[in-house]
Amino acid sequence: MANVSTITYRIKEHARRLGFDSVGIARAGELTAEARALEAWLAQGRHGTMHYMERNFDKRIDPTKLVEGARSVISLSYNYYTEKKQTDPSAPQIAMYALGQDYHDIVRARLNELMQYIREIAGDVQGRSFVDSAPVLERAWAQRAGVGWVGKNTNLLTKRQGSYFFLAECIIDLELEYDSPVKDYCGTCTRCIDACPTEAIYEPYRVDGSKCISYFTIELKESMIPEAYSGKFANWMYGCDICQQVCPINSQATPHHTPEFTPSEELLTMTTAEWKALTEERYKKLFKHSAVKRSKYLGLMRNISFLK
């Protein structure tokens, strides 16, 4: 079998061949500082009704509880940036990541290929791969692995890509060469904090999830959105990109090369009137393979009706 250095290099090269833009590796172990921060965040109720954040706390802070004998966390980024936009600027908006097909399916397929390759070159490796589908503090691991730094809006940022990418992980019981964290380049910039219409970024590097537009339009399952936020959604009906749109780092973003993430012309050209008159039948057709299905038809229509 090849040595650790060679295996690490080959894993990273194959990940890039599969379409991942950045690859970094960190030693598996308990995230002690992050555990304290998460505990305080939960105690303050910043997670709103996202009660799943309270579950599996031990697994969330320690990958060895997810994969027995885990030694390495491979963190990967996958670009979803597109220059295609919804053509009616006054129409209800969808966050860029959800304009194409569901990223869970697309990225997971590539993760499975990467895991298969690791076993081909390194033998009987035990592990699991995840893309926003398990109690994993993915931004913390990506930061430890040197993929990027966590910005003031709590998104992971990279100098080369900005922040328009999905994060994924392979947690394996194989020793590899480990990367180092990179510098934080946010500096004195506060554009994301200043631009957030619901003041969800309550201080640098801290977001109140229960005030975020993405939370209200995706996670909140109540029949009504609190009236106190009326007029503050800036026309977002599913997710929100404001803190990414204003971030200077995202001037570095380049378009993805994944056909499945290309939004349909039908979706891009829908007018405000068409969105308001959206039928459940058309909803199912538009979002058959989309992450927007998470909101369900009634949830999306609730969001649309809430916009002013």
Please give the full DSSP string across 5-33, using - where no structure is assigned.
HHHHHHHHHHHHHTT-SEEEEEE----HH
The amino acid at 255: P
**What is the distance between the alpha carbons of residues 174 and 31, in angstroms, rounded to a whole number?**
19
Token pair for 239: 């997710």
pLDDT score for 83: 96
Pairing relation of β-strands 156-157 and 149-150? antiparallel
Say how far residue 273 (Cα) sits from the centre of its chain.
Answer: 30
Query: Residue 19: its pLDDT value, please?
Result: 97
- Which residue stretches of the chain have pLDDT < 50? none
Diameter of the chain by CA atoms?
62
How far apart CA 133 and CA 125 sit, in angstroms, is 21
- Say what the pLDDT of residue 2 is: 74
How far apart (Å, rounded) are the C-alpha atoms in residues 227 and 242? 21
Give the residue among 187, 182, 197 at the shortest CA–CA distance from 148: 182
Catalytic residue set: 132
Cβ pair 26, 144 in contact under 8 A: yes
* Alpha-carbon distances, residue 231 vs 51, 126, 209, 227 (angstroms): 27, 50, 19, 9
Burial class, 228, CB count within 10 angstroms (exposed 0-12 / middle 13-18 / buried 19+): exposed
CB of 129 closer than 8 Å to CB of 110: no
- The 10 Å Cβ neighbour count of residue 264 is 15
